[in-house]
Chains A and B, each alone.
Chain A
Amino acid sequence: MFPCEITTMLIKTLTDRLSAADITPQEVYLNRRQFMAGSAGLLLPVSAIAALPAAKSPLSTSEKPNSRDDITSYNNYYEFGTGKDEPALYAQRLKTRPWTVTVDGEVAHARTFDIDSLLKMKLQERIYRLRCVEGWSMVIPWIGFPLADLLKQVQPTSRAKYVAFETALRPGEMPGVARRVLDWPYREGLRIDEAMHPLTILAVGLYGEVLPKQNGAPVRLVVPWKYGFKSIKSISRIHLLEKQPPTSWNMAAPNEYGFYSNVNPAVDHPRWSQATERRIGEFFKRKTLPFNGYGDQVAGLYRGMDLRRNF
């Protein structure tokens, strides 16, 4: 009887949560936020509320996005603490202006981009599934532009085989880096063809606004067919190179996190199964799809590769 009650309560809460999100369409929600921002205009910096106009994209999923609340209060961003709620609490002290992203290495025209110039790129909304290596997933309406658009501007040389990314390291603003949970700064990497793939974007916004700080403001990578930790946040440097770069989670536990880290239900994490996932807001678990459901677009990148060894 006791367990039955708990399920009923759980199902009720979950459906309540779902319907609460349902009855608040995004536009209404955004208007409400703008209204709130307007009335608190003296307190909020303009950049925090700037709306970002973005074109729709055929690469977006038609699945229902998670609520803004879910997306901005349940985060993995270890620079601000290892708890899921800590980034929302502590990331607000990160100064995202001024901000530059240096793109260098194997390129014809190394350049440092100011965040304002990145915000002026042709922006699109990309509604993507995000699958965390921990076994949960969300659907997130990012706003950004293809990484390829940026890389084309610096013209990678023929020796540019990989792209390395680095998160800004600001010990004064990032309480989490005082403890060496990972070898800071956070580093990630992609093969050049993965980086140039149309699905790979640099995100500067979420739900029609500039990116909240806990989600990796002012600019982050989003690679929807890989586990979430590959999508590095608050990028300060992009370096093109010939050799495969070291990446943070792979350095921390090479037997658990590979360089590729493509979502793959057939390859378990050594300590837990990757066959299923819990979509945030849902009661039952879903089957995890190869390449997080983006196999049609990206499986070709790995033709002939043993994905069990190159996990």
Chain B
Amino acid sequence: MADSTTLARPLALHWQQPGPRLFAAIKGSLFLVCLLPLAQLAWHILSGAAVNPIEDLTHGSGTWTLRFLLITLCVSPLRALGAPGWLLRLRRMLGLYAFFYACLHLLTYLWLDQFFDWAAIVRDIVKRPFITVGMLAFVLLLPLAITSTDGWIRRLKRNWGKLHRLVYVIAPLGVLHYLWLVKRDLQSPLIYAAILAALLLWRVWRYLRPTLAARVK
């Protein structure tokens, strides 16, 4: 018993406080892991396995944008469940990957779907609700990506946190975009909607908890 605690404790400490070199290694690995979906997409398309490669690129980049948004939103709940604090220091990269896949998604649409026919693109944005909300989500994502640097965090001080709460709007718009474009089978977008709802409801609960507790007293 005594042995196991003495053995486990330094390990646990180690887990909680990785040294700068270990943290850099973790961060580097995560960076590469986040590129795997892109690599998989590229391989799928370049190997010639895709019958409709542009559709696969559109769907793949869109799906991974949503996934990275949801993964980013998982960090706080995981922290509350006892995950180590340094997880927070990786969140910026996860958010920027959501932006990266969103850029790929948008570029695929602008280029390979519309071939930069701006008149058609504007018509699409105005006329088709799923494109309107998708575009809105991307536009809202822009300031978050721009202000993700240390410099902007310092400059914006408390407002930085407020600004980055925009993700609570962006993620639902993203899911709505998916929900509205599906032809008939809503199963997949509804799974994303359910996960997002759980992540947002947890935040509502956390926000209201002190008030609720006070009222009970």
Contacts and interface: CB of A to CB of B under 8 A. Distances in A.
Interface of A: 3, 7, 9-10, 12-14, 16-17, 20, 69-70, 73-74, 78, 82, 84, 134, 136, 179, 181-182, 252-253, 271-273, 278, 280, 283-285
Contacts of A181: 184-185
Contacts of A20: 48
Interface of B: 42, 45-46, 48, 51-55, 107, 111-113, 115, 120, 124, 128-130, 180-181, 183-185, 187
Contacts of B184: 78, 82, 181-182, 252-253
A71 B141 CA distance: 39
B130 A82 contact: no
B214 to A, nearest CB: 46
A74 B51 contact: yes
A10 B51 contact: no
A280 B52 contact: yes
Q: Which 5 residue pairs spanning A and B have beta carbons closest together?
A: A74-B51, A82-B185, A70-B51, A181-B185, A17-B48
22 contacts: A3-B107, A10-B45, A10-B112, A13-B45, A13-B53, A17-B48, A20-B48, A69-B51, A70-B51, A73-B51, A74-B51, A74-B52, A78-B185, A82-B187, A84-B51, A136-B52, A179-B187, A271-B129, A271-B181, A278-B55, A280-B52, A285-B115
Contacts of A136: 52, 55
Contacts of B180: 271
A4 to B, nearest CB: 11
B128 A9 contact: no
A73 B49 CA distance: 10
Given A10-B112, A285-B115, A273 B124 contact: yes
B60 to A, nearest CB: 13
A71 B112 CA distance: 22
Contacts of A73: 51
A60 to B, nearest CB: 23
A272 B52 contact: no
Contacts of A3: 107, 111
Q: Looking at B48, B180, B183, B187, which has the most chain A CB atoms within 10 Å of its CB?
A: B183
A3 B51 CA distance: 21
A74 B54 CA distance: 14
Contacts of B52: 74, 84, 136, 278, 280
A278 B54 contact: yes
Given A3-B107, A16-B48, A10 B54 contact: yes
Contacts of A273: 120, 124
Contacts of A253: 184
Given A3-B111, A271-B130, A285-B115, A14 B185 contact: no
Contacts of A179: 185, 187
A257 to B, nearest CB: 10
A278 B108 CA distance: 14
Given A69-B51, A179-B185, A271-B181, 4 more contacts: A10-B53, A252-B184, A271-B128, A273-B120
A272 B128 contact: yes
A159 to B, nearest CB: 34
